[in-house]
Amino acid sequence: MCGRLSQYSGIHDFVAALSMPNALVNSVGDLPLERYNVAPTTLVALLHLQGDLLHADPVRWGWRPHWAKDRAAPVNARVEKVAHGPFFRSIWPHRAIAPIDNWFEWVDEGSAKKQPYLIRRRDGSPVLCAVIGQLPDADEGSGEHDGFVIITADSAGGMVDIHDRRPVVLTPELAREWLDPATPKERAEQMVLHQGEPAEAFEWFPVAVSVGSVRNQGPETILKIK
């Protein structure tokens, strides 16, 4: 977890959920993103602060340090280790939010194929995932080594039956604090360790197995079945 997500709302909808007064520098466009089945290694729209400006940039999902060329680029980082392990040390200070509509998990229910489930907020508001990464520079633009990872935590409640890990999702208030470069690293660690949204904030339901193929990109991939 997390290995597949949806980002079909428009970036302005995501920004509105954050309630940030900052001017927006938008390089992802004004139209709905309409990406229902987003896989790792592809571009995901992120929100991050540089100075007083909020930036919306497409960034590759997955990152590894330059010295780890012998392994695949992770797409997630465990909250228990991310702040202190050497692997993510260089990007731990570089915080962003991946605003998404939902994510997917697969459950072995004894059939030939695992059953995919869609997970989203019960109130229908955007899912504000805490991420870190090597992010585009406001002056130099995107770089070939840019990328990000989603911070994940243990699941709890009924969600653990779907998957044992989940993204750390922040309330808009905490997301604004997470984005603020002035927030101390120690405070940021405590936020993702202890203040992520609880399982009760989410709902989940089965969707068609067709979501397992990245070739299927339409809105039918997010429809409830059964």
Which one of 94-98, 152-156, 160-164, 208-212 scores highest in mean pLDDT?
A: 94-98
Whether residue 105 contacts residue 119, with contact meaning beta carbons closer than 8 Å, is answered with: yes
Active-site residue among 2, 129, 140, 203? 2
pLDDT at 156 over 70: yes
pLDDT at 155 over 80: no
Considering Cα of 66, then 67, then 73, then 77, what sign does the dihedral take? Answer: negative
Q: For 19-31, how does the pLDDT look when each residue is reduced to its tens digit (9 = 90+)?
A: 998 999 999 999 9
Question: Average model confidence (pLDDT) for the chain?
Answer: 92
105 catalytic? Reply is yes
Tokens of residue 162, six digits = 């779907």
2 catalytic? Reply is yes
Which CATH superfamily groups domain 5-222? SOS response associated peptidase-like (3.90.1680.10)
Of 76-85, 104-113, 205-214, which range is least confident?
A: 104-113
Domains of the chain, by residue range, sit at 5-222
Task: Give the mean model confidence (pLDDT) for residues 162-190.
Answer: 93
User: What angle do the packed helices 172-179 and 11-18 form, to 10 degrees?
Assistant: 100
pLDDT at 75 over 90: yes
Q: For 177-200, how does the pLDDT look when each residue is reduced to its tens digit (9 = 90+)?
A: 999 999 999 999 999 999 999 999
pLDDT at 162 over 90: no
pLDDT value at position 158?
63
Active-site residue among 34, 80, 105, 203? 105
pLDDT value at position 84?
92
pLDDT value at position 159?
63
pLDDT at 165 over 80: yes
3 state SS for the chain:
CCCCEEECCCHHHHHHHHCCCCCEEECCCCCCCCEEEECCCCEEEEEEEECCEEEEEEEEECCCCCCCCCCCCCCEEECCCCCCCCCCCCCCCCEEEEEECEEEEEECCCCCCCEEEEEEECCCCCEEEEEEEECCECCCECCCCCEEEEEEEECCHHHHHCCCEEECECCHHHHHHHHCCCCCHHHHHHHHHHCCCCHHHEEEEEECHHHHCCCCCCHHHHCECC
**pTM for this predicted structure:** 0.94
